[in-house]
Structure 1
Amino acid sequence: MIEIIKSYFYEERDENLGDLGATLILDFILEKLAMEFYNKGIYDAYQYMNDRLDDMLGLQR
């Protein structure tokens, strides 16, 4: 991810970003968004399992 962030800054902003800067940006993003990604994953898994359960119950009827 560090290399991707550095590449993005170079290609999109024409800035050379070092490892420390890229690491700080990654840490910031993870701190602010990690819980959102986690909750979305939990919700998606729940929805998937509900859909499969409905499929199974449909076979029973």
Structure 2
Amino acid sequence: MAIELSKDVRKEAIASIERYFREHMDEPIGNIAAGGLLGFFLEEIGPAVYNQAVADVQERLQARVAELDLEVHEDAFTYWRKFERQAKPRR
């Protein structure tokens, strides 16, 4: 599955790459080169990040599903218990 960014997100990501190069590298990077670098990272490294995110979500969901039984559990056959608690001994 290819990782696609919306036009606005892609534009911001390219601007961020350009800024990073301006502030941290010896040479600035142009808009086209920054777009190419972004494309490379999305294709090469993006799937690893995506897969880890999916695994993290699965782990969290499985933990929540395991807790679901405790949260929504209802005891069965409780009708007579309420009468047993109210019953007074007969003399």
TM-score (normalised: structure 2): 0.59
Aligned to 1:33: 45
Structure 2's unaligned 5+ residue stretches are 1-12, 74-91
Aligned to 1:5: 17
* Percent identity for Structure 1 against Structure 2: 28
Structure 1's unaligned 5+ residue stretches are none
Code of the residue aligned with 2:24 in structure 1: it is: E
Q: Distance in 1 between matches of 2:25 and 2:57?
A: 37
Quote how far apart the aligned CAs of 1:23 are: 0.7
Q: Distance in 2 between matches of 1:4 and 1:11?
A: 11
Quote how far apart the aligned CAs of 1:17 are: 1.2
Q: CA RMSD in A?
A: 1.6
Q: Deviations over 1:5-61 (max 9, x none)?
A: 00000100142211011011111111111211221121111101111012112343x
The count of corresponding residues between Structure 1 and Structure 2 is: 61
Structure with higher helix content: 1
Greater C-alpha radius of gyration: 2
Q: How does 1:1-61 map to 2 (within 5 A)?
A: 1-59=13-71, 60=73
